A and B are shown apart, each in its own frame.
Chain A
Amino acid sequence: MNLKNLSGKWYFLLIVILIYVVLFFCNYNLFLSAGNFFFNILKKIIPVFILVFVLMSLTNYFFTPKFISKHLKEKGIMKWVFVVIAGIISTGAIYMWYPLLADLKDRGLNYGLITCFLYNRAIKIPLVPLMIFYFSLKYVLFLTLLMVLMSVVQGIIINELMEVK
Chain B
Amino acid sequence: MKENFLESVFKSAKSLYNTLPLILGTILFVSLILVIIPNSFYVNVFRNSFLDPLIGSLIGSISAGNPITSYIIGGELLEQGISLVAVTAFIVAWVTVGIIQLPAEAMILGRKFAILRNLNAFIFSVIVAILTVLFLGVLA
Show the binding face of A for B, using Cβ within 8 Å. 9-10, 12-13, 15-17, 19-20, 23, 30, 33-35, 37-38, 41-42, 45, 49, 52-53, 56-58, 60-61, 91, 94-95, 98-99, 101-102, 105, 111, 114-115, 118-119, 121-122, 124, 127, 130-131, 133-135, 138-139, 142-143, 146-147, 150, 153-154, 157-158, 161-162
- B136–A124 CB distance below 8 A: no
The residues of B that contact A34 with a CB separation of less than 8 Å are 28, 31-32, 35-36
| Interface SS majority for chain B | helix
The residues of B that contact A9 with a CB separation of less than 8 Å are 18-19, 21-22, 25
The residues of B that contact A105 with a CB separation of less than 8 Å are 109
- B71–A127 CB distance below 8 A: yes
- The reply to whether the CB of B82 lies closer than 8 angstroms to some CB of chain A is no
The residues of A that contact B30 with a CB separation of less than 8 Å are 41
- A134–B74 CB distance below 8 A: yes
Closest to A162 in B: B113
Given known contacts A101-B109, A124-B95, what 16 new A-B pairs fall within 8 Å (CB)? Answer: A10-B21, A13-B22, A30-B35, A30-B36, A34-B31, A37-B32, A57-B12, A95-B105, A98-B104, A101-B108, A102-B108, A115-B117, A115-B120, A134-B75, A135-B78, A143-B128
- A56–B121 CB distance below 8 A: no
With A37-B34, A143-B88 known as contacts, the answer to whether A111 contacts B25 (CB < 8 A) is no
What CA separation (Å) do A67 and B74 show in the bound complex?
33
Report the tally of A-B residue pairs with Cβ distances under 8 A.
153
- B96–A122 CB distance below 8 A: yes
What CA separation (Å) do A57 and B16 show in the bound complex?
11
Closest to A15 in B: B25
- The reply to whether the CB of B45 lies closer than 8 angstroms to some CB of chain A is no
What CA separation (Å) do A17 and B15 show in the bound complex?
22
The residues of B that contact A157 with a CB separation of less than 8 Å are 120
Can you name 20 A-B pairs with beta carbons within 8 Å? A13-B21, A13-B24, A16-B29, A37-B32, A38-B27, A42-B27, A45-B72, A53-B13, A56-B16, A95-B104, A114-B113, A122-B67, A124-B67, A134-B75, A135-B74, A135-B78, A138-B136, A143-B88, A146-B132, A158-B116
